[in-house]
Amino acid sequence: MIPRPDLLSYALTALIGGIGATVAFALAVPAPFLCGPALAVTFAGLLGLRLSIPTLLRNAAFVIVGISMGTSVTPDVIAAAQTWPLSFLAVLATVVVLLYAAYWILRGFGYDRTTAMLGASPGHLSYIISLTAETRSDLATVSVIQSVRVLALTLAVPLIVEYLDLIGLEPAILPAPMHPAILAATVAASLAVGWIFLRWRFPAALLLGGVAVSITTHITGMTSGGVPSWLSQPTYIVLGSLIGTRFSRASLRDMRKAFVAGGVVTIAVMLLASVIAVLVSKLTGVPMNAVMIAFSPGGLETMAAMAVMMHADTAYVGSHHVLRLLFLSVLMPLVMGRDARRKQD
């Protein structure tokens, strides 16, 4: 039985996230069902409210986002992927550039080498937090800096894409939603594949399970259609609310330095990533909206949902973010050296 305080926090989070989405939609905010809840739940958390998302609901949202990404993959997309190798190399170089740029900024704020390196990681938040817990670094500081990055990019990327008029055109004919029975079967298969990926310790395993099943069934013609809006929109609200819950009961006064440092780092890496995205788009011919989202060091699930909402190439965006996370999984222990294996006393 779920403890009453958790039930209350779930209900409160749902209410605040729903209000945030409604207000953002009414104000025509870009990606309203993601940005609105993220902002509303963040403010509520900073006011001291205890907010949280049930693990099962969070996992379900990851699966649905993965399925949504896979529905847009067509044979034409597969053919276009032949032009991506240069882009893949660029995203690996970008990870290194962003990591060390953020590292030196955090060192300038006075943080020790280990805390600065972990706080500087351009992504893979859950992995970085677990790695931080195994070192002598400041876990609270790293958590705040990384959470600020995820929140700021969630809010900034759609604004940049819309301000620069980079939003892809709506399809002339929207794909019909999947039949409920087909959708249920796809979700069940995605959960099974996601569970296997979890056992193999893949990053964002449940999301990748949804992607794998959806791409396979759509490419082969076994299924057709997209995720219905009655399911996709609540999914984005859950993801936005999840981002906001990272600041639940956080103290602005106690963590002021970490908040400022996280903000400065986010601005710096976003500017660098944007410059690189412009160059990659010009060299490869990939539309700027897809490159901008693909090179933004935000959360995989969040950026994947962003690609769907901003009508960007989801296969391009998803593949680059998965590569970024896999690269970080190998890179961070290497750059941390002995610090990555030093247990806390």
Mapped onto helix, strand or coil, the DSSP state of residue 226 is: strand
Res 12 pLDDT > 90:
yes
Give the residue carrying structure tokens 């958790």.
6
- Position 170 scores a pLDDT of 47
Q: What is the pLDDT of residue 171?
A: 45
Reported as a single tens digit per residue, the pLDDT across 136-189 is 777 778 888 888 888 888 888 887 777 666 655 444 445 678 889 999 999 999
Q: pLDDT by residue (tens digit) across 57-89?
A: 988 988 998 888 777 666 666 666 677 889 999
**Residue 14, pLDDT score:** 94
For residue 169, the model assigns a pLDDT of 43
Tokens of residue 193, six digits: 């594949």
pLDDT at 270 over 70: yes
Token reading at 314: 């989801």
Contacts of 158 (CB under 8 A, 6+ apart): 29, 30, 31, 34, 35, 306, 309, 310
Instruction: Please give the average per-residue pLDDT across 241-266, as a whole number.
Output: 81
Is the pLDDT reported for residue 111 higher than 60? yes
Using the 8-state DSSP alphabet, how is residue 340 labeled? G
pLDDT for residue 254 is more than 70: no
Least confident piece of the model among 243-252, 314-323, 334-343: 334-343
pLDDT above 90 coverage of the chain, percent:
31
Report whether pLDDT(340) > 80. Answer: no
Other CB atoms within a 10 A radius of the CB of residue 300 amount to: 24
What does the block give as tokens for 270?
């976003």
Residue 232 has pLDDT above 70, yes or no: yes
Q: Write down the pLDDT at residue 77.
A: 63
User: In Å, what is the CA distance from 235 to each residue of 6, 139, 198?
Assistant: 20, 29, 21
Mean pLDDT (the chain, rounded): 83
Distances in Å between the Cα of 317 and the Cα atoms of 21, 66, 84, 108, 221 are 24, 12, 11, 32, 23
pLDDT of residue 75: 67
DSSP for 16-40, written as a single string: HHHHHHHHHHHTT-SSHHHHHHHHH
Considering only residues 49 and 132, tell me which one the structure prediction assigns the higher pLDDT.
Answer: 49
pLDDT at 134: 64
